[in-house]
Amino acid sequence: MRYLLAILIGLSLLVSIDTSAQQQASYAQYMFNGLAINPAYAGSHEALSVSFLSRFQNVGLEGAPNTQTFSAHSPLVNQRMAVGLMVIHDKIGVIGQTGINAIYAYRIPMDNDAILSFGLQGGIGMYNARYSQLETYQPDLLFAQDVRQTRPNFGAGVFYSTNSWYAGLSVPHMINNVFSRGSDFKTVKQSTPIIVSGGYVFAINPMFKIKPNFLFKVVDNRPVELDLNAHLLFDDVLWVGMSYKFSNAFTLMSEIQVTDQFRFGYAYSVTTGLLRTAELGSHE
Confidence of residue 18 (pLDDT cuts 50, 70, 90): very low
Count up the domains in the chain and report the number: 1
- The pLDDT-based confidence of 136 (bands split at 50, 70, 90) is confident
Q: Is residue 165 part of a domain?
A: yes
Give the domain range for residue 195: 4-201
DSSP 3: T
Is 256 inside a domain boundary?
Answer: no
Mean pLDDT for 34-52 is: 93
Which tens digit of pLDDT belongs to each residue from 162-190? Answer: 999 999 999 998 887 776 665 445 556 67
Does the residue 263 lie in any domain? no
In a domain, 249, yes or no: no
**Quick one: pLDDT at residue 13?**
37
Beta bridge partners of 19: 188
How much is the pLDDT for 191?
A: 75
User: Could you tell me if residue 131 is inside a domain?
Assistant: yes
pLDDT in tens, 203-231: 999 899 999 999 999 988 788 899 999 99
Per the domain annotation, does 243 fall within a domain? no
Task: With respect to residue 254, please indicate whether it lies within any of the assigned structural domains.
Answer: no
b/e map 257-269, b = 16+ CB within 10 Å: beeeeeeebebeb
* Strands of 19-20's sheet in order across: 19-20, 187-189, 178-180
Which pairs count as long-range contacts for 104-108, CB under 8 Å and 24+ apart, including other chains? 104/39, 104/42, 105/39, 105/40, 105/41, 105/42, 105/43, 105/73, 105/81, 105/159, 106/80, 106/81, 107/43, 107/75, 107/79, 107/80, 107/81, 107/82, 108/80
SS3 of residue 66 by DSSP: strand
54 bridge partner residues: 68
Residue 145 falls within a domain, yes or no?
yes
Rounded-to-integer distance, Cα 141 and Cα 123, Å: 33
Tell me what the mean pLDDT of segment 79-85 comes to.
Answer: 94
The answer on pLDDT for 20 being more than 50 is: no
Calpha distance 169→193 (Å, rounded): 11
Closest CA to 267 of 55, 52, 26: 55
pTM of the model: 0.84
Distance, CA of 13 to CA of 16 (rounded, Å)? 6
H or E element that contains 6: helix 4-14
Rounded Cα distance between 99 and 159, Å, is 22
